[in-house]
Structure 1
């Protein structure tokens, strides 16, 4: 072990000790392999020295202009303090003494510092919306008068009654659901149901060709080409029911695209949804709690109830958003008071109406209410995935605060904090890749 000034650190070095802030807060764990983002964070905290492995600390260092070099000037402690204040506000309802809370705080703080450094290095031009930076409160939202908010609604059913489009899902959805519900369905049945919609088929092929499924293809090397170029092969790689489940979720996305921008930026909304989906898929795979493809779709659709509420009950949602901002509440709390139920219950009701698989519907319905279902393992996957996506600022759906993490959910998943931390970089890479799959003609995630 050798101690080095932070200005001498380079990407690829490995920390020999945990790194603490000057105030004694945990920042980075021993064993972290430093990348340029870590270097910026260390400089931002104005740390004098850190310990790195002996082999990394010896010998000549590359030129300061090399690929691993830190920025020319340290951003300063003010930036780090502002980043910490923003993260603490976002995680206000999270127990930071809990193992998961500690991990999410550390990961969120690292990323918030990197974002702010990026903005500062760009001359302060622009904001990093959708990545933890909330847009300023607008003054042109509907129903901003001081008059009393409308009374709560009778039920989720009452909200859906006036939206005929939502009563009848797309025809391709009905075809896919028929395949899923028939135990005698074949590989070709699954492929044929998806082939009916060329746009859907193209999205699924891009998804199956992502790096996440590359491991599956490598496991059967010699049977599949490097690129999966047909639905029949995609079914064989992913599995008929798994691909049909993915298709089921992706097929309904076009129904949720026409929300006015003064409510939510839809690309930012879908970035949050995809972030939750990839986190859920990884958590399900690591914990063994549920099917990863089912978890992906549940994550993708976990906030569709909020989109419905924006469309069908704008006055109620305006009141809920004002209350959440004024009282520093997770938006789901305010929804229950203003609507009479939250977006998770509304989304679950819609999925039940559409006859989605029961376990998928329950994952959406109960991801904020784990006291209700008899078995919490699968809803716990979405509960944690949503917390990860919100804490790390992956997009946004109007919510400014991470809800409290259920200790029972964490226990049911059987993960450790270290295991969760190790999963996050792969989740972030998968998020960027999946956003390109869903939005191939647009820029990458915001």
Structure 2
């Protein structure tokens, strides 16, 4: 093992120890085979040096650098962890081509993460009691008939109208003359919402903005008015818009999915969307965060209001090894994205938020695909990396048009994933203070 400055690193080198951020946060696991994306991430986190495996240690019989493709081996002391990880990922990526392109990048990163999790003593992915029970559930031979979007929403009393705090926030968003005080006033009467927003604004994501405003604010933002000054009135109101509706979606029957895992997936998609938006400049980062947070709200409604249909859809998705949204369209008549978009339209959410939720699985519909493409890719990243789960076990295929529209590179995507993962862990602690460590 040798210490190397980050500037001395090159693709193909292997980390001999876990890479930590300057603040001590986990960044990359021991055994990671560095590629250009990893190197950019290490630079972005301002690391000075890391420990890598010397060439002789990496391969005593050869001076060649280790391979850096998506199928490259991941360091594992006994081989069992890697075999189990590969088996789990074979299921997860059954609908995707991992031979090359951005999906191959995600496969390699997911394999790194799965091996690391197994070495830490975690269960094999998708083998939770809920998943095992679901896999044994028989398919109802009497396939139910299609439902209607409006009928499902009408049958859920809590969804007939949005919460009061949402209405206040929406008024601020609609008024171009709204002020800092108006934005803060719309939020402060809901203490739980205000506390969540302050935790979000005090996260490391906004640390750079706060440093730029040094002298104007204390190190810790302790009031909504100051939060508005850091994030922006409309941006904070947009964040509040998404967070304010979360309490309406807390009671999925446990036989379908673990609620903590559902929100971990939603927050993972939100963190990924925020990072993609910031990197590409296609949309506002806070808007992307909220769209990612709410992208699967339609599935919660179907879990509660279309129990028989979802039972058939989930079992068929398991048997046929396809993404759940594909079977939802056949069994229910539409997928959860269309239902979620319909709800946001009914509640008069901003049109771009509604569009991003509605079309994240259907990019052939909207005239301009940049905005839903952000959520499309973010959902794929969150599913590929195993960040929580919303009932769907298969990584959806990446739409080439979405990838082209976003203008990212494979190295760029690889460099963003550790940033997304750190943001996910931090945001989960904002919503669930007892959340521990990297997910």
Specify the TM-score bucket, using the shorter chain as the normaliser: 0.7 to 0.9
- Mapped partners of 1:326, 1:141: distance in 2: 8
Q: Name which of 93, 96, 111 aligns with 1:94.
A: 96
Aligned pairs, number: 398
Query: Aligned residue for 1:106?
Result: 108
> Does the 8 Å CA contact 2:428/2:435 hold for their aligned counterparts?
no
Q: Any gaps of 5 or more consecutive residues in structure 2?
A: 15-31, 66-74
> Does residue 258 of the first structure (1) align with residue 263 of the second (2)?
no
> Does the 8 Å CA contact 1:142/1:318 hold for their aligned counterparts?
no
Q: Name which of 149, 162, 166 aligns with 2:159.
A: 166
Following superposition of structure 1 onto structure 2, how do residues 21-100 of structure 1 map, counting pairs within 5 Å?
28-30=33-35, 32=38, 48=59, 75-100=77-102
Q: Name which of 138, 145, 158 aligns with 1:151.
A: 145
Alpha-carbon spacing, 1:225–1:342, altered in 2? closer, same or farther (3 Å): same
Q: Name which of 307, 314, 324 aligns with 2:307.
A: 314
User: What is the CA distance between 1:47 and its match in structure 2?
Assistant: 6.3
User: What is the CA distance between 1:89 and its match in structure 2?
Assistant: 2.4
Query: Aligned residue for 2:71?
Result: none
Q: TM-score, normalised by structure 2?
A: 0.84
- Mapped partners of 2:2, 2:394: distance in 1: 35
Could you report, residue by residue, the CA deviation over 1:335-357 in whole angstroms, capped at 9, with x for unpaired residues?
A: 11111100100000001011110
Alpha-carbon spacing, 1:353–1:28, altered in 2? closer, same or farther (3 Å): same
- Determine helix, strand or coil for the equivalent of 2:120: helix
> Does residue 245 of the first structure (1) align with residue 245 of the second (2)?
no
Could you report, residue by residue, the CA deviation over 1:237-292 in whole angstroms, capped at 9, with x for unpaired residues?
A: 00000000000000000000011211111011000000000110010010011110
User: What is the CA distance between 1:152 and its match in structure 2?
Assistant: 1.6
User: What is the CA distance between 1:150 and its match in structure 2?
Assistant: 1.1
- Mapped partners of 1:74, 1:285: distance in 2: 35
Alpha-carbon spacing, 1:145–1:379, altered in 2? closer, same or farther (3 Å): closer
Q: Any gaps of 5 or more consecutive residues in structure 1?
A: 1-7, 21-26, 54-72, 120-125
> Does the 8 Å CA contact 1:289/1:377 hold for their aligned counterparts?
yes
Following superposition of structure 1 onto structure 2, how do residues 208-227 of structure 1 map, counting pairs within 5 Å?
208-227=201-220
User: What is the CA distance between 1:196 and its match in structure 2?
Assistant: 1.5
- Mapped partners of 1:304, 1:405: distance in 2: 21
- Mapped partners of 1:11, 1:166: distance in 2: 56
Q: TM-score, normalised by structure 1?
A: 0.83
- Mapped partners of 2:87, 2:224: distance in 1: 48
Alpha-carbon spacing, 1:140–1:191, altered in 2? closer, same or farther (3 Å): same
Q: Name which of 324, 337, 341 aligns with 1:348.
A: 341
Runs of 4 or more consecutive aligned structure 1 residues displaced over 6 Å after TM superposition: 9-14, 50-53, 140-143
Alpha-carbon spacing, 1:99–1:184, altered in 2? closer, same or farther (3 Å): same
Alpha-carbon spacing, 1:76–1:148, altered in 2? closer, same or farther (3 Å): same
> Does the 8 Å CA contact 1:150/1:316 hold for their aligned counterparts?
yes
Query: Aligned residue for 1:186?
Result: 179
- Mapped partners of 2:271, 2:134: distance in 1: 34
- Mapped partners of 1:11, 1:325: distance in 2: 46
Q: Name which of 356, 364, 368 aligns with 2:361.
A: 368
- Determine helix, strand or coil for the equivalent of 1:310: helix
Following superposition of structure 1 onto structure 2, how do residues 372-391 of structure 1 map, counting pairs within 5 Å?
372-391=365-384
- Mapped partners of 2:342, 2:310: distance in 1: 18
> Does residue 424 of the first structure (1) align with residue 426 of the second (2)?
no
> Does the 8 Å CA contact 2:201/2:227 hold for their aligned counterparts?
yes
> Does the 8 Å CA contact 1:141/1:263 hold for their aligned counterparts?
no
Query: Aligned residue for 2:23?
Result: none
Alpha-carbon spacing, 1:307–1:259, altered in 2? closer, same or farther (3 Å): same
Could you report, residue by residue, the CA deviation over 1:187-224 in whole angstroms, capped at 9, with x for unpaired residues?
A: 10000000111110010000000000011111122111
> Does residue 284 of the first structure (1) align with residue 314 of the second (2)?
no
Query: Aligned residue for 1:433?
Result: 426
> Does the 8 Å CA contact 2:193/2:240 hold for their aligned counterparts?
yes
* RMSD after superposition: 2.8
Could you report, residue by residue, the CA deviation over 1:102-126 in whole angstroms, capped at 9, with x for unpaired residues?
A: 211111111111111111xxxxxx6
